[in-house]
Structure 1
Amino acid sequence: MSETSRPMIDEVDLMIDNARLRDELEPYRDDSIDDPTMRYMPLPVENEYLASILAWERAPALPIRDWFNPPLQIPAPDALDDETLSSTLQRTIAKLKSQRIVLSCTDHLSDRELYRVIYRDILPCCEKKVAVEGNELEWRCVDDSETWLTYYADAVERRRFQEEHQIDLPKAKKPRYRRDAR
């Protein structure tokens, strides 16, 4: 086989994969599959995109605690003293990272507040567990625009928000706690 015929075979393989992916996606067909920007994607990128959509469609929606084997159970926040809670929080964040669950916007929360968010909001929440390389579930620990504007929005984001909503902004502050939850 000559060197010049190899790219043609790869292209044929890519086209066959593309047709297979499109066939498998047919039951889930919607606008994301017919996205006009896909016309400009190189075939390998399009196939990767289609494979990620297929993985999403087939992924089970499970409570995050059930993404672990055995399911991740942590003690209630009120059952722990501050020292035990802090060490349990660090272990829990590491376990979440092991399943590609990353926490962002956590620096305004104390350890106990963040632990409560994990215990009350994150672990029981049903999310799709998508097994695609490089895929992460980011959980933003901000529940309102005021907190985001106060601690996390940069000057440009703050200005845009103010122009869009015509409101007075809260004073920007540095978060009280520094942690690398990512």
Structure 2
Amino acid sequence: MSKKIIKAKENTDRQDYIQDLQRRAEEFVDRDVSFFESEAMPQEVREQFWERVAAFEESEWTTSFNQLVQGGMELPAPEELDDAQLSAKLWEVIRGLAMLRTFLYSTDHLSGRELYEELWHEVLREENPSMPLDENSACHIDLVSSGSEQDNVLYLRYYADEEERAKDWPDDVIPVHKALPYDRDRHLPSRDQAEWQSCCQSS
């Protein structure tokens, strides 16, 4: 069989596989799924894209809290921990989230206890699809990016540079700039540094 025939068969098989992925995605949303796809897009990239779409639609939803617990981590309530215990637990959670490919930003306005409380009560409880993890997976959580008035004030007070603060913010009073009270963000795991293997893959 010539190389040209083999290549044509591979392309046909790949196209059939992509169409099967598209059908699987459509079954879950009960309608045609349509995305712009450039004709120049390589088949391998299209295949990877539709694999992610199908995995998203078919995945069960869970929380980071459940994933960490299933991976063997204990997550006591904040009030059950003294300051030393809480500090250790906070960094255990931060490292656990990084293994789940979830990365935190803009935490330096919060004390360790405030951050753990925010994680324990809010961030870890948010439901998300349980997607397969690989080295390209990443969920970025910025603690002042919700768009709420409170977060906008925190961003402008602590994180915005002078150029950003000089922009027109018609709905916001620009607060006086304050130095960040804590120095944590530069020590947080980043996407490039973190181990990608999930601590819960074996569960």
TM-score (norm 2): 0.73
Identity across the alignment (%): 26
- The answer to whether the Cα contact below 8 Å between 1:65 and 1:73 also exists between their aligned partners in 2 is no
Question: Which consecutive residues of structure 2, in runs of 5 or more, have no partner in the other structure?
Answer: 190-203
Aligned length: 178
TM-score (norm 1): 0.80
For 2:51 and 2:71, the matched residues in 1 are separated by: 29
1:137 pairs with 131, 139, 150, which one?
A: 139
Residue 82 of structure 1 corresponds to 83
Larger mean CA deviation between 166-175 and 145-154 belongs to: 166-175
- The answer to whether the Cα contact below 8 Å between 1:25 and 1:54 also exists between their aligned partners in 2 is yes
Larger mean CA deviation between 91-100 and 170-179 belongs to: 170-179
CA RMSD of aligned residues (A): 2.6
- Residue 70 of structure 1: how far off its partner (Å): 5.0
Residue 149 of structure 1 corresponds to 156
Question: Which consecutive residues of structure 1, in runs of 5 or more, have no partner in the other structure?
Answer: none
- Residue 29 of structure 1: how far off its partner (Å): 5.7
Which has the larger share of helix?
1
SS in 1 for 2:76: coil
For 2:13 and 2:177, the matched residues in 1 are separated by: 54
- The answer to whether the Cα contact below 8 Å between 2:100 and 2:133 also exists between their aligned partners in 1 is no
- Residue 105 of structure 1: how far off its partner (Å): 1.4
1:177 pairs with 156, 170, 182, which one?
A: 182
Residue 64 of structure 1 corresponds to 64
Q: Does 1:55 align with 2:60?
A: no
- The answer to whether the Cα contact below 8 Å between 1:110 and 1:177 also exists between their aligned partners in 2 is yes
SS in 2 for 1:171: coil
